[in-house]
Structure 1
Amino acid sequence: MSSTDEPAATSGESSARARQAEAIVNHAEHSISEDAIVAAARERAVDIGAGAVTPAVGALLCVLAKLTGARAVVEVGTGAGVSGLWLLSGMREDGVLTTIDVEPEHQRIAKQAFSEAGVGPGRTRLISGRAQEVLTRLADESYDLVFIDAAPADQPQFVVEGVRLLRPGGAIVVHRAALGGRAGDASAKDNEVAAVREAARLIAEDERLTPVLIPLGDGLLAAARD
């Protein structure tokens, strides 16, 4: 029987699959433990109202940094340094993380986290400013990994710039690609949803990229560049 001949799932089967999927994601999100330094950075993120990736998202960033052999990484959205710590843990020892945030206080706190982790000052480049302006000053095809954790409305512009920065064999990762499920809800048509869908379209239609949507955190859209 072909897939097109398979009977439609009943409402009970659909509910069971939804519960199973939720249980799997919940298990994945709680399967990662963090060291004391990352945990402290996460607490500071809460204190200052800065978002922070979940431990599972952080672990995936670490894995991607290792897989790409990352020496040069760009992060949009420094926060309190949680995602930066995970990225640095997967990067080569001589790698440099360029991290951008419009809030100087966030970067001051992230710098504290990096120092506590024993990350040398030469391994991080913290740039305070609007990513819309900073990214345009970075060199083409010079980065192994680009991580975007920014306001949904800015995702399309950051995707365009992020792909430009990627070397062949590199990867781009966009956090908040699901918006709590709204991005996949056909009835949702607000500006944030439209922007997230546009970012996904830009990635999907770029023949150099191979994308995948990963159900961790608030959704991760990752793509490898040929």
Structure 2
Amino acid sequence: MSPSSAATSPTAGPGVPTSPAAAPKPVSWAFAEDFAAEGDAAAQARVETGPLGVEPLSRGTVSTLTFLAQAVQARAVVEIGTGTGQSGLALFAGMQRDGILTSVDLEADHQRQARKAFSSLGIASQRFRLIAGDALTVLPKLSDGAYDLVLVAGDTLEYADYVAQGLRLLRHGGLLVMTHVLWHDTVADPANDDDETLSVRSALEAVTENEDLVASLLPVGDGLLVAVKR
């Protein structure tokens, strides 16, 4: 068997890429991550993640969120985990001009920072609802099938529960998106059984085993799961 045919062999074991030669080198990965420009407000929102202890999103992840919101012409979006407004700014950049973002987060400090970020770009206050509270208490109160995109970026220990809620909230053709699904390179390591890692794996299994979803895991930032509801 030639090296090239071995690289694409369907008998490759678990965790072994079927096309390892296609994996980008670090320089190419960095080029791809920084391909899209980042505005001042987005850059500031990234800086603010440090003092507030929020997991930052990479530039590649942010630009992909904008792309996805634009692709489905999103007008109604639910965000689980407001953070400092990084993801919200990315979504607004791709949403329709009359689009409304509903963002849920336990931390009032996070939402104050997000509000500041949105206001700095002149985003009208009626275009976002920042709800301070437990996501699994708030989400059941939102309408079934009423949203174009649901972004999961909250507590990783609750990711599987967020998947179930996201499915209920999405319209057919809508997108379920989850950030940090590689969780600092631990999800791909079968020897790692940390609580966060196990929770993310459980959420990924819930997505891949659901016949109502067509999913792909993008190696962007810390991993971005994208699934379309049939």
- TM-score, normalization by structure 2: 0.89
Q: Equivalents in 1 of 2:127, 2:189: separation in Å? A: 41
Q: Equivalents in 2 of 1:31, 1:8: separation in Å? A: 28
Name the structure 1 match of 2:134.
130
Name the SS of the counterpart of 1:210 in structure 2: strand
Give the conservation status (yes or no) of the 8 Å contact 1:177–1:221. yes
Higher helix proportion? 1
Mapping for residues 1-226 of structure 1, pairs under 5 Å: 6-7=5-6, 17=21, 20-226=24-230
Deviations 1:122-162 (A, max 9, x none): 10000000111111111111100000112221100011101
Compared with structure 1, are the counterparts of its residues 159 and 19 closer, same or farther at alpha carbon in structure 2 (3 Å cutoff)? closer
Identical-residue share of aligned pairs (%): 38
- TM-score, normalization by structure 1: 0.90
Q: Equivalents in 1 of 2:81, 2:55: separation in Å? A: 9
Deviations 1:171-201 (A, max 9, x none): 0001111112211112222322221111011
Compared with structure 1, are the counterparts of its residues 17 and 98 closer, same or farther at alpha carbon in structure 2 (3 Å cutoff)? same
Residues 24-33 or 216-225, more deviating: 24-33
Letter in 1 for 2:103: T
Q: How many residues align?
A: 220
Residue 18 of structure 1 deviates from its aligned partner by: 8.4
Identify unmatched segments of 5+ residues in structure 2: 9-17
Name the structure 1 match of 2:15.
none
Q: Equivalents in 1 of 2:206, 2:120: separation in Å? A: 38
Q: Equivalents in 1 of 2:50, 2:169: separation in Å? A: 31
Q: Equivalents in 1 of 2:63, 2:111: separation in Å? A: 21
